[in-house]
Structure 1
Amino acid sequence: MDTQQNTALTRALAEIPGPLPARGVIHIAIPHTDRFTVVGNHLAQHPDLSCTAVGIAVRIQSLPQGVEVGIKALAARCREGEKRIAAALRELEACGYLQRVRDRLPSGRTITRTVFCNQPTALLRPRQTASPRRPAVAATHQAPGPAPGPGPAEELTAAPAPAPDPAPDPAPTPPSPSPSPSPSPSPSPEPDMPEPPPVPPPPSFVTPLPPLFVPLVPNPTAPKPPPPPLPRPAEATPELDRAATALLSDLRRHTPEFTLSEADIRQLAPGVAAWLERAAHPDAIRRTLTTDLPHPLRRPALLLKHRLTALLPPPLPGVHDLAAPARPRVTVTPFQTCDGCDRVFRSPTPGHCRDCREHRAHRGDDTRTAAA
């Protein structure tokens, strides 16, 4: 009878709607009224942050602005040592939650400011322009409370819309009965109330936002590209087929795991024939297919097909491909000695230089003129 039972917990469990789960955690959510901090699931369930980094981030987020959050200051507040706190701060800085900015004061002294952002992905989104409608709605909700003072409400509503024109009229009417000024500010919020819903939201909320964490492993249900076909020889000859079949059948002598069936050998023979056609040595083919095998080897035929396709060597280059490119031959005109003046000049054939040819031509013209 001395064992105390927590009846409050039992009563809270009984108030949870729906059947309780058979396993896992059961949440009893009691709304906070004071001294609470809102933490997003992107931080609480971050896959790249350790639990220490998440706890340090929550501690920093719960502190008021201006409190020291250095390594020594946090070590004085937490049970973790300085090394774990420094590692956690580096994790938060790598994920964008924490940033250290060096700033220069007007006095010339340089200080380091620590900036913590509770939602770093929101900084990457395009900022929405300041909409004047939202302050108007807030003002209309607050206007009915301070009814005796319509002045501040009029100042707030004057910014977004031209509704303040009727507002000066209630100013001279306060001498009349007191209930009269109260309905005057109430009509102004009523036309403003239906206006915010038709306003289209900013584009940043209309367009789907990119996911916070992009998985590196593709979705298993995503369609996979078809595997590349098995290589085949350009000219399938009986000799190539016979050699490929013999090589595949002989693999079990060297590696017992490759005891293939006749159907597998017939299917893989064109791939081996393509290797043989490209002048690959049988020993090299056997070594490429049987080395570095996975353990256990469950499907040897698929492994051979993959290696025959992915490791196919290029064809051997021909003799002309290996020959060095011929240099362009430059024709050099040889030197000749003039028969008339012994002058050296360039010409493919021996004879007279240009001056001697011109002189001989001019003298021939004079001889023909004299004879005429």
Structure 2
Amino acid sequence: MNKNFNLKKLTGMRLFMPIVCLLAVLLINVITTPGFFKISLNNGVLYGYIIDVVNRASELVVLAVGMTLVTAASGGQDISVGAVMAVAAAICCQILSGGDVSTNAFQNPFILAVIAALAGAVLCGAFNGFLVAKLNIQPMVATLILFTAGRGIAQLITKGQITYVRVDSYKLLGGYIGKCPIPTPIFAAVIVILIVHFILKKTALGLYIESVGINATASRLVGLNSTMIKFLTYAICGFLAGIAGLVASSRIYSADANNIGLNLEMDAILAVALGGNVLGGGKFSLMGSVIGAYTIQALTTTLYAMNVSADQLPVYKAIVVVIIVTLQSPVFKKAVAGMKAKRSLKRLAAEGGNQ
């Protein structure tokens, strides 16, 4: 009886299904690629499939953190984060290149470029927040504006060209720091997770976000500024999208407005869903979204290892995601619980008949 109680308590935990899904994807990796967990050190740098998964998931993890807050507070999603990544990358690289895409000279301070890029990203997030929180426009419609126009803005900033930057300090964000064998993007993702988790746990912000997401009207009646809280989550989401954009552009030493962050907004939303979060808002699990992001990247790496082409990748990914989301859906869980209850009744009836 105690074992059954512990199992029921374990399966009822919010992170149970996200962890199970991640482990299932990793198990498939081990079956299809026996050396998946093998890690080697070559020329002072760590190599391996698992390192690649954690490294390549860094931008998605950062986006998923911001998307979780937006979803919880507004009951909607920010589909412009990929475009905001492109805008931040364009601003940073344009400043570092001195405003001339033909030069690679370091003519402006690196810190100035980063601050300007993040400020631009926050401005984009604030614009979305104003439309959603103040004008009460549906989040999907409000963020569709920058989803459509964001890459055009990035193209205007870079004058329609790919801005290349050959600045050693800029390469560090997407590469390696000194002789550290661990890629820098992993540290960036971990730092973002820790800071946001600390803020949510040590302040009342997390509680306020959940309260507004569950019932904005009731929250306003008890004294919470629901408009400001929603606005703040979108501004934070924009800021985190800016960080992800800097990491992505640092990997390729350039600002490619057409490709940086392309389709990542969809993966970020999927990460939130796979993390067991309700897309209608309310209670949320930050770590669930993080696990969901790593699950998606592990799935992507698996498909590439199985020689699935980039054109076919979304189809296979969609199939797997539908299966995972179905397993986590309340309807499926209720159906499983009903089957278990019927089985228990039959067993009790059989035992009663034998007596």
Higher helix share: 2
Query: Whose relative contact order is higher, 1 or 2, with alpha carbons under 8 Å and at least 6 apart?
Result: 2
Q: Which bracket does the TM-score occupy, shorter chain normalised?
A: under 0.3
TM-score by length of 1: 0.18
**Whose Rg is larger?**
1
